[in-house]
Structure 1
Amino acid sequence: MILILLLFIIVLCLICSWIYLLRDSKSYNIPGPMPWPVIGNGNLFLVDSSEFLRLLSELAHKFGNACRVHILSDRYIILSHPKYIEEIISSTETITKGKSYYFLRPWLGDGLLTSTGQKWKTHRKFLTPAFHYNILHSFLPVFLKNEKVLSEHLKSQADGSLIELFPIMALAALDNITESIMGVSFEAQKDRESKYVKAIDVASQIISTRMRNIFLNSDLLFALTPYKRTQDKALAVLHSHTKEVIEKRWQELKNTNTNKLDENSEIGMKNKHAFLDLLLLAEVDGHGIDIESIKDEVETFMFEGHDTTASGLVYGLYCIAKHPEVQQKILEEQKEILGDDLERDPTFSELQQMKYLECVIKESLRLYPSVPIIQRLITRDVEMSGLQFVKNSSVIINIYHMHRHPDVFEDPLEFRPERFHASNSFKSPFSWVPFSAGPRNCIGQKFAMLELKVTLAALVKRFKILPGEGEPEPCGDLILRSRNGVHVRMLPRI
């Protein structure tokens, strides 16, 4: 009798859950797959990160550029066209990140990527000067120095053998971020077995798995799995590195008796290492920033400032290797700007003149955006761009698919840098958003573009870059990686 009663209650709960999900899915004018009881459409997302991007594209093909899914009882709207995303990412109302960003908090805390409201506005305002146009000039020597270390390492492999790019570029990008905006040097490129880079890979994979897997969404269930212990070990490495960065820079400031910001400086800082110094020395409402907030911001920028750039470098080199005519044009542009002495370093002004290289970078970021998807949370019932959004829905903006959409770009799968010439224009300014857009756009996009320019220009100048074997299988972890790696071959040029 008790067993029958329990079965009846379970069946009743399943029916009620299904009715709720069906009614909820019809409460707004966005199509999508039929949800199942309890799990919604969560079964669709039990895929690995390489299948995840394919799944999102399949949903777009089947249901259109605006598609609705339920993961458990949570609503997600997947958008894949500029006409739908423009109003959302340009609005000051929808600045809160989506629910999936919750899983980043054990790592990044309440930093600029995950925070919202007044804290985000305050931190965004006082951190923006750290990426002022003028301060980028002072980062150039760092980028040039680390590019030479990178080139020296690649020289030993430039014999036509296969080179896996991600581990190498991750270390170069890590050196750039720590030495420039953090103001400390760890010479990561000399440590080929970097525990920090490996820990980022592990943490990224586990967090992105949690974002997709309905069974790992629950903190309780996640804590019972080996994933939790593995994540804890990885985060211990990352937090320890962050602590070391902060302590090292703080000691340097103490040694030079620097205890406040230079009010007469154009950008509010006396020395070039503005970002971490701003955090350590700035005052908000008459008080210094608490140590937890400093840690959160350093964690955030160490991750965002090196992993995304590494992805951009990797796929940029892959595209250049696949298109020798593009590579030759990059080289010719440098010859025109630098003259006969190709071995000398470019100046900041000369880098700004490399317009074709800039087009190449933009086109590679179109096909392979470092951050393939972003999310926003809808905080009230609202109609935007002709779509009805229900409060507490998360909006998934599928940048990867949108950048390959035939309605957005002509011949979208062709690598064509010329489409970014100044004389060309897109149907929407929100057609190309590898750095997002609107009030929550990437604060360091000019920093990233300069680093990409310096590194790619130097590598094309020094090496003939040739295709590797096979095609990469892009996977949507926290950043765009590849399940089977990204490989090229190199031969010395000079």
Structure 2
Amino acid sequence: MTMTTSAPQAPIVTASPLFGSMGDLLNDPLGAYLRARRDHGDVVRFRAGPPGLRSDIYAVFSAEGAQQVLATRAADFRKDNVFYEELRQSVGNGLLTSQDEAYLRQRRLVQPLFTRRRVNGYASQVAGEAAALAAVWREAPGGSVELVGEMHRFALRVVGRILFGTDVEKAFEVIERTLPPLQEYSLKRGFSPLKAPRTWPTPANRRAGRLQAELYGLCDGIIESRRGRQDGDDLVTLLVHAENAEDGSLDADELREQVLIFLLAGHETTATALAFALHLLARHPEEQRRVRDEVDRVLGGPGGRVPTAADMEALPCLTRVLKEAMRLYPSAPVIGRRSVADAEIEGVRIPAGADVLVSPWVTQRHPDYWPDPERFDPSRFTPEAEAGRPRYAWFPFGGGPRACIGRHLSMLESVLGLAVLLREFEFEDAEAGEVPLGAGITLMAKGPARARIAPRG
């Protein structure tokens, strides 16, 4: 809908007279977004920065508004905002950050690697890594594991097997040490009204440059190790040889950027879903029993057969648990865009040139779509319940033409990985309260999610 002069402006979120909402958005963004919707409605304005240097950030919290931004009017809301520019300079111009012809060309070259048939062929790697993790857990000291760290390591090992056809234990150490500070650096620069050019040798710039160089070196080494192979079915080997008449092939920089994006995004999304699905099941033993009974019927109980992609359809209870975990703990709590045309969303003006965000974190807790939204309730995802909600009431993988290309791979890895672990162990919550959370580019646990595990059989 084109903006009309009669449409009101978005309400401004109450904040500090000196720095506006900058402190809230940096220190407690998840709480700030929830309070803004509760107090001001589905379209609001945050003003960040000191007087004279403030910038407006529009936040859209309704499912219908999210659909306009991501899908129906996607051409008018682009990845041109300051946060994507900072991320682009930190991790390159891969599928997550590229636009226009560069994005379309990359997508055409990469899409054949993510067909459902090809992704289903990776089920054995997923099951193998889950079985290896179960063997390690059986020796866990004190029968206790920290789910967030364990699931990050598991997801990265699966990505390593699928992407690179090799062990990535070294990559795990590099990523865990470099990625969080690079995210924080990019986010702070995105919010800052005044920032030194990255070429200036400030301590922050020099540290970020060293971290980036280490990540780039990791990816270059992986690519080089696969370049001489012709017969591998890992994604890097396939990317190295990806080519078509229209688009040619990926050059060295493009290869590195795609590998880095797949390495980062490919494990973050899945690790968050796995960790919090197990955390929630550990806190809800009746739901855990229901899911385990289903897994036992399908896979045969402890030590049963190896799951395959065909088993996913036979595990609807487990899939509902996973979707509910992704509702409550979306790995991308906020998705940013910039408007390039005047718009009207939910009857509110959004001018051309405005920074705009939509938030799975808020929309997936919106009481208009989710009664008692903080309650864990997998029955929200029965086919009948899903049919009764707006399409974008749940969008942990984004949506529209820029929806996550790895969605099916993430679901395959999550469902089959959980099935193996739940078949082999019982989980009991070992923490007294909620897991403290923060948000950078992705959702981050700021404390442990520890569970006691007891081997079955």
TM-score (norm 1): 0.83
1:172 corresponds to: 154
1:127 corresponds to: 110
1:480 corresponds to: 443
Gaps of 5+ in 1: 1-25, 257-270
Match of 1:232 among 202, 209, 213: 209
Determine if the alignment matches structure 1 residue 31 to structure 2 residue 11: yes
2:3 corresponds to: none
CA distance in 2, matches of 1:192, 1:154: 22
Which has the larger displacement, 192-201 or 401-410?
A: 192-201
Amino acid at match of 1:74: S
Contact 2:109 2:242 in 1 (8 A): no
Q: CA deviation at 1:99?
A: 2.4
Gaps of 5+ in 2: 1-5
Q: CA deviation at 1:360?
A: 0.3
Contact 1:75 1:392 in 2 (8 A): no
Which has the larger displacement, 387-396 or 324-333?
A: 387-396
Q: CA deviation at 1:222?
A: 9.7
Q: CA deviation at 1:403?
A: 0.9
Match of 1:60 among 9, 33, 37: 37
Determine if the alignment matches structure 1 residue 281 to structure 2 residue 242: yes
Contact 1:331 1:460 in 2 (8 A): yes
Contact 2:110 2:242 in 1 (8 A): no
1:492 corresponds to: 455
Q: CA deviation at 1:448?
A: 0.2
1:11 corresponds to: none
CA distance in 2, matches of 1:288, 1:368: 37
Q: CA deviation at 1:46?
A: 6.3
CA distance in 2, matches of 1:158, 1:409: 40
2:229 corresponds to: 252
- Partner SS state of residue 343, structure 1: coil
Identity %, equivalent residues: 24
Q: CA deviation at 1:275?
A: 5.8
Determine if the alignment matches structure 1 residue 361 to structure 2 residue 322: yes
Q: Deviations over 1:371-418 (max 9, x none)?
A: 111011101223344332211111111210111111121111111101
Residue correspondence of structure 1 range 192-211 to structure 2 within 5 A: 194-211=173-190
Match of 1:415 among 361, 373, 376: 376
Contact 1:196 1:241 in 2 (8 A): no
Contact 2:124 2:308 in 1 (8 A): no
CA distance in 2, matches of 1:276, 1:314: 30
CA distance in 2, matches of 1:493, 1:230: 47
Contact 1:170 1:197 in 2 (8 A): no
CA distance in 2, matches of 1:211, 1:234: 18
Structure with greater Cα Rg: 1
Contact 2:341 2:353 in 1 (8 A): yes
Q: Deviations over 1:466-485 (max 9, x none)?
A: 10213201211221111122
Identify if the C-alpha distance between structure 1 residues 388 and 454 changes in structure 2 by more than 3 Å, giving closer, same or farther: same
CA distance in 2, matches of 1:206, 1:44: 15
CA distance in 2, matches of 1:350, 1:122: 34
Identify if the C-alpha distance between structure 1 residues 34 and 409 changes in structure 2 by more than 3 Å, giving closer, same or farther: closer
1:261 corresponds to: none
Amino acid at match of 2:38: H
Identify if the C-alpha distance between structure 1 residues 276 and 380 changes in structure 2 by more than 3 Å, giving closer, same or farther: farther
Amino acid at match of 1:32: I
2:122 corresponds to: 139
Number of residue pairs matched? Answer: 444
2:403 corresponds to: 441
2:343 corresponds to: 382
CA distance in 2, matches of 1:464, 1:172: 18
2:69 corresponds to: 88
CA distance in 2, matches of 1:197, 1:43: 27
Identify if the C-alpha distance between structure 1 residues 58 and 384 changes in structure 2 by more than 3 Å, giving closer, same or farther: closer
Q: CA deviation at 1:330?
A: 1.2
- Partner SS state of residue 380, structure 1: coil
Q: CA deviation at 1:370?
A: 1.0
CA distance in 1, matches of 2:202, 2:455: 48
Contact 1:30 1:67 in 2 (8 A): yes
- Partner SS state of residue 405, structure 1: coil
Q: Deviations over 1:116-174 (max 9, x none)?
A: 1111122223322211110122111111111122222222226343x222222222111
CA RMSD, aligned part only? Answer: 2.6
2:430 corresponds to: 468
Determine if the alignment matches structure 1 residue 115 to structure 2 residue 98: yes
Contact 1:95 1:440 in 2 (8 A): no
Contact 1:311 1:479 in 2 (8 A): no
Identify if the C-alpha distance between structure 1 residues 219 and 348 changes in structure 2 by more than 3 Å, giving closer, same or farther: same
- Partner SS state of residue 214, structure 2: helix
Q: Deviations over 1:229-248 (max 9, x none)?
A: 33223222211110111111
Q: CA deviation at 1:439?
A: 0.9
CA distance in 1, matches of 2:142, 2:350: 56
Contact 1:80 1:401 in 2 (8 A): yes
Amino acid at match of 2:338: L
Contact 2:199 2:205 in 1 (8 A): yes
TM-score (norm 2): 0.90
CA distance in 2, matches of 1:288, 1:344: 40
CA distance in 1, matches of 2:288, 2:377: 12
Which has the larger displacement, 373-382 or 360-369?
A: 373-382
Q: CA deviation at 1:460?
A: 0.9
Identify if the C-alpha distance between structure 1 residues 275 and 96 changes in structure 2 by more than 3 Å, giving closer, same or farther: farther
Contact 1:322 1:466 in 2 (8 A): yes
Match of 1:326 among 262, 267, 287: 287
Amino acid at match of 1:285: E
Match of 1:314 among 257, 275, 281: 275
Q: CA deviation at 1:34?
A: 6.5
